[in-house]
Amino acid sequence: MADAQRKPWFEINKRPALLKKDAGRLSLLDLSMLSYSDQRVGVFIDTQNMYYSARSIFGRKVNFNNIVKEAVGECKLIQAIAYVVRTKSEEEKPFIDALSNAGIKLREKELMEYLSGQKKADWDVGLTVDVIRMLDMLDVIVLVSGDGDFIYLSDYVQSRGRMMHVMSFRETTSSRLIEAADVYTNMSDQTKKFLIGPTRRGPMRPPRGGEILIEKE
């Protein structure tokens, strides 16, 4: 196992990840970061983006537990955080409980309702602040989101010599975010691993950044 542990984690796991070949970008990374057994990983999950992307593309639910397992591999998980939204009806409670039972830390926010009838809850700033706050204790930041607003966060993470790994469903992911990341995992390539439950209903429109969509049965 000694030889295996010296290999980069993205080779050992054989995950469908794209390692960027840009030498300039990779030169910002400390080569010791590529020691598989020493990787310290933080996983930051844009729950609304993932949930509604899976519904719009596949009509199914996301297996967040498997996302965290895949993101971490055999590295050291420092913390996995899911950013969720609570509504007055609390219809999302079983979903939130499932995240908590999987050992994922929850950051919760109440849904904002406007006079126009629009409903939104934006976690972009909160997630970004958490990444910056924890950066000194992490080697790899795994962002589970397709939101292009996180491009600047990716740039900052890399400027601090850390690796940025983005996981998402390619169909609802910003191309610029993929380009900005060091490693990208397209979860649409492994639906058996990252999705659960039967296909439910027809496609919904993809979510926009920071938006929460309330489903009507």
Q: What pLDDT sits at residue 10?
A: 42
Q: β-pairing, 76-86 with 112-113?
A: unpaired
Residue 179 lies in a domain: yes
pTM of the model: 0.76
Q: Is residue 100 part of a domain?
A: no
Establish if 51 belongs to a structural domain. yes
Would residue 113 count as lying in a domain?
no
Residue 109 lies in a domain: no
Residues 6+ apart with CB under 8 A from 118: none
Across the chain, which has 217 residues, the per-10-residue mean pLDDT values are 40 41 40 61 93 90 92 92 83 77 87 66 89 96 96 96 94 94 93 84 46 37
- Count the domains in the chain: 1
Is the Cα dihedral 38, 182, 129, 143 positive or negative? negative
Q: What is the pLDDT of residue 48?
A: 85
Structure tokens at 184: 């990208």
Is residue 30, in this structure, part of any structural domain at all?
yes
For residue 107, being part of any structural domain is answered with no
pLDDT of residue 125: 92
For the stretch 125-152, what's the b/e string if a residue is b when 16 or more beta carbons lie within 10 angstroms of its beta carbon?
eebbebbeebbeebbbbbbbbbbebbbe
The reported pLDDT for the residue numbered 114 is 65
Determine, yes or no, domain membership for 53: yes
Domain range for residue 182?
A: 17-82+120-132+144-196
CATH, residue 21:
3.40.50.1010
Q: Say what the alpha-carbon torsion angle 19, 21, 188, 46 is, to the nearest 10 degrees.
A: 70
Find out whether 44 and 143 touch, Cβ atoms under 8 Å. Answer: yes
